[in-house]
């Protein structure tokens, strides 16, 4: 049988209009692209995406990098948890506006990654975030995510959908049990899933901290890597902790992170405050640099301790005499 010839189509780069990448959550979740959130079962992946969905549904961001001016429509697909007894109660506990969160009814036919209903749902709801949790459940009959060509075809169709409607698509996936700590290869089957995604986030436990989960970006093709984050699961529910000093190797290897840099920064400021009512900011930055504390982490510690900056002549000083005691 003769193979159908595909007509050659050429596009000059001069005909393409340049545009900037838009972000739902800079630099972790871009609009119009695929993002993977992966981790071991029970390590907090679903908790993270549910709380992000809840925040978006009422026009709020999970942190200052998620700048919203209005509530957003979200589609959240999950087959592992019951909608009535698990998903909705968890959304309500997170304070979600459930009017803005929809789910495609799979009672008649199960959904797959290449299902036309995905596009129809995005159009109908004008969703800006689509979550498939876990992606392993949406492969469709006979598809194998460990086979590169099939994984590539599936993810390319999703990527086209994301770009067409400038919708952020998040694929939540369980990591496989391959030996070693290389995050890309402990991902969700074929490396092609990892290749097509523009951002990949690793969610995992923090050794020695029973209730804390780390979020570490292990791939970013669109911007500089984001600083690792963390959240806490307590009796009061989900609490966002923000910047956290930990590496992907420490998460994957079950290695206790080095002293939390934020706590180290606060300890440094308290020690300086014992002998100084005020100090030039440049001097404090130099002290922090000597201890491997970044400028950003030091600024966060300053904010948490309620330290104010004051300009004297042409120099900035940090007022340390009214530092918050903990």
pLDDT in tens, 272-315: 888 888 888 889 998 888 877 888 888 888 888 889 888 888 88
Residue in 220, 55, 197, 85 with CA at minimum distance from that of residue 135: 197
Q: pLDDT tens across 145-155, in order? A: 555 566 677 78
Residue 183 confidence (pLDDT) above 60: no
pLDDT at 177: 58
Task: Answer whether 252's CB lies under 8 Å from 183's CB.
Answer: yes
pLDDT at 245: 84
pLDDT higher at 142 or 132: 132
Same domain, yes or no: 173 and 286: no
In-domain check, residue 10: no
Q: Domain count of the chain?
A: 2
**Which of 253, 269, 304 delimits the end of a domain?**
253
In-domain check, residue 58: yes
pLDDT at 56: 97
pLDDT higher at 245 or 220: 220
pLDDT at 178: 53
Same domain, yes or no: 249 and 282: no
**Helices 261-273 and 295-304, axial angle in degrees (round to 10):** 60
In-domain check, residue 62: yes
- pLDDT band, residue 184 (cuts 50/70/90): very low
Q: Which of 49-58, 134-143, 188-197, 208-217 has the highest mean pLDDT?
A: 49-58
pLDDT at 175: 79
Domain of residue 301: give its range.
261-319
Residue in 57, 85, 88 with CA at minimum distance from that of residue 72: 57
The long-range contacts involving 92-97, CB below 8 angstroms and separated by at least 24 positions, are: 93/237, 94/50, 94/51, 94/54, 94/55, 94/237, 94/238, 95/54, 95/58, 96/53, 96/54, 96/57, 96/58, 97/57, 97/58, 97/71
In-domain check, residue 1: no
What average pLDDT does the structure give for the chain?
A: 86
- pLDDT band, residue 66 (cuts 50/70/90): confident
Q: Residue 237: what are its φ and ψ, rounded to 5°? A: 100, -150
**Which of 218, 233, 253 delimits the end of a domain?**
253
Stretch 99-118: mean pLDDT: 93
In-domain check, residue 269: yes
In-domain check, residue 4: no
Same domain, yes or no: 221 and 275: no
pLDDT at 274: 84
Q: Which of 56-60, 233-237, 297-301 has the highest mean pLDDT?
A: 56-60
In-domain check, residue 233: yes
Same domain, yes or no: 193 and 275: no
Same domain, yes or no: 266 and 215: no
pLDDT at 202: 94
- pLDDT band, residue 85 (cuts 50/70/90): very high
**Which of 237, 253, 269 delimits the end of a domain?**
253
């Amino acid at each position: 049988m003769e193979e159908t010839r595909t007509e050659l189509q050429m596009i000059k780069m001069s005909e393409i209009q340049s545009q900037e990448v838009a972000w739902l959550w800079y630099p972790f979740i871009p609009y119009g692209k695929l993002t993977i959130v992966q981790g071991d079962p029970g390590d907090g992946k679903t908790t993270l995406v549910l709380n992000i969905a809840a925040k978006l549904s009422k026009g709020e961001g999970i942190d200052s990098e998620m700048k919203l001016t209005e509530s957003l429509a979200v589609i959240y697909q999950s087959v592992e948890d019951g909608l009535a007894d698990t998903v909705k109660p968890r959304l309500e506990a997170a304070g979600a506006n459930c009017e803005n969160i929809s789910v495609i009814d799979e009672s008649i036919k199960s959904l797959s990654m290449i299902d036309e209903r995905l596009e129809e749902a995005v159009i109908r709801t004008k969703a800006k975030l689509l979550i498939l949790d876990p992606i392993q459940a949406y492969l469709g009959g006979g598809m194998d995510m460990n086979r590169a060509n099939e994984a590539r075809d599936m993810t390319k169709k999703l990527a086209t959908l994301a770009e067409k409607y400038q919708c952020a698509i998040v694929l939540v996936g369980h990591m496989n049990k391959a030996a070693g700590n290389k995050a890309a290869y402990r991902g969700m089957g074929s490396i092609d899933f990892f290749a097509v995604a523009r951002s990949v986030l690793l969610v995992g436990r923090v050794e020695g901290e029973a209730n804390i989960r780390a979020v570490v970006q292990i791939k970013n093709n669109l911007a500089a890597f984001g600083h690792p984050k963390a959240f806490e699961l307590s009796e009061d529910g989900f609490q966002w902790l923000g910047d956290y000093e930990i590496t992907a190797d420490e998460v994957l290897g079950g290695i206790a992170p080095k002293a939390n840099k934020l706590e180290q920064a606060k300890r440094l400021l308290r020690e300086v405050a014992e002998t100084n009512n005020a100090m030039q900011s440049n001097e404090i930055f130099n002290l922090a640099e000597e201890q491997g504390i970044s400028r950003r982490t030091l600024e966060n510690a300053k904010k948490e301790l309620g330290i104010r900056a004051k300009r004297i002549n042409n120099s900035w000083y940090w007022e340390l005499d009214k530092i918050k005691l903990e």
